[in-house]
Amino acid sequence: MGEVEDAEVSASLPKVKNLEEKTTPAFRAKLYRIATELGLPPGELASLMGFESSWTWSPSVRNPSGGATGLIQFMPSTARNLGTTTEALAAMTAFDQLDYVQKYLAKMGRWKVPGDSYLMVFWPAGVGKPDDYVIGVKDSEELVPGASFSRGRVYFQNRGLDANGDGRITAGDVRAKVLSVLRASEAAGSISVDLADEAARGEAAPAEAPRFGALGVLAAGALGVVAAVAARGAGWFGAKRKP
């Protein structure tokens, strides 16, 4: 009986860079629970938060060029739509900020295919779309439907996602980023998670926000584009910064 109960509350996450070193067991248990409640693969969500926070896992990490803050780089407008501010998010513990990660992702619809977690943050209209669904096009002046910026601008600000250099950013390109992190993390091993640890919390207030390094530049540019209010009606109410 005891062995069955233990199996029901035990799980694991892949060894995403710095996850074990910079987070608590309570944080990892909550991350795992939130992912499963949202129908997301927990390892994929952990991979997303790892690179979006530039591997700091800090709730206060901030992109100085756009104000995006925290574990999934909430934009100020996105924070307001969630009933908070980026300043309040930065003052939270990582454990508490996970509530807003869950609240945001719950608005984005259901995960459908591997890699969709990143589209939920980057370009929610692409969730579930075929890999060849086009998001950005080099030098294109075509406006994104429902927005005031062009597909060319989307491409320019996120050209690092065009891994094959074909002049397009597609849903497949976006998915490939988070899946490459996930594969590398899984190859590094696993971290045991006991879901009962969530109740323990035991997490200190965040330190002063670290500044982005080279990976942060990637997260700010090649990994981020869509913000909230202007795009919401078009169905891609993203956590990222506006092009």
d(CA 37, CA 102): 9
Each residue's pLDDT tens digit in the chain (243 positions)?
Answer: 444 444 455 699 999 999 999 999 999 999 999 999 999 999 999 999 999 999 999 999 998 777 899 999 999 999 999 999 999 999 999 999 999 999 999 999 899 999 999 999 999 999 999 999 999 999 999 999 988 899 999 999 899 999 899 999 999 999 999 999 999 999 999 999 999 999 887 665 454 444 433 233 333 333 333 333 223 223 333 455 434
Burial of 20 (0-12, 13-18, 19+ CB in 10 A): middle
In this structure, are residues 132 and 236 in contact, taking their beta carbons and an 8 Å threshold? no
The pTM score is: 0.80
Q: Which of 71, 152, 122 is nearest to 239 (CA)?
A: 122
d(CA 243, CA 172): 20
Beta strands in the chain (DSSP E): 10-14, 134-137, 168-170, 190-194
Domain locations in the chain? 2-232
Q: What CATH number labels 2-232?
A: 1.10.530
Q: Which of 182, 177, 175 is nearest to 15 (CA)?
A: 182
